A = this chain, B = another copy of it.
């Protein structure tokens, strides 16, 4: 059995820099109530430039940003080419300005649609001692 679901874009990445800006569309902006009480957020975004048949058909890659990485399944690395072009980054929340979030550490591109924002809860989300293969120690953090 397989199937599909529809995601609605709730906002977009307006600018990317040391401090990046995420704009949440007016229609969804009430969902930000009290978001300023967290120091970190989980950002789920749409890797729009890879939303095509070719990139969504990729199941194995050699992660080129990491020295010595072997051929790896896309579910065992953070490849932007994958069956569903969903990216996930944990960001530091630097400020909330009405329907805009100022964040640090966003690994997305300008114009990337936003799919969801979730608060980062260390009780369930933080596993500092998680084991990973050695090649993940070099290159970008994801």
Could you tell me which A residues sit within 8 Å of B by CB distance?
1-10, 12, 24-25, 27-28, 30-35, 37-42, 44, 46, 51, 56, 59-60, 70-78, 82-86, 88-90, 105, 107, 113, 115-133, 136-137, 140-142
Contacts and interface: CB of A to CB of B under 8 A. Distances in A.
B113 A121 contact: no
Interface of A is mostly: mixed
B82 A116 contact: yes
A85 B115 CA distance: 10
A32 B118 contact: no
13 contacts: A5-B9, A7-B7, A31-B74, A31-B82, A33-B76, A38-B76, A39-B130, A84-B115, A88-B88, A119-B132, A120-B127, A125-B127, A128-B128
Contacts of A105: 124
Nearest to A9: B3
B126 A33 contact: no
B126 A70 contact: no
A70 to B, nearest CB: 7
B34 A133 contact: yes
A19 to B, nearest CB: 18
A68 to B, nearest CB: 13
Contacts of A140: 124
B86 A116 contact: yes
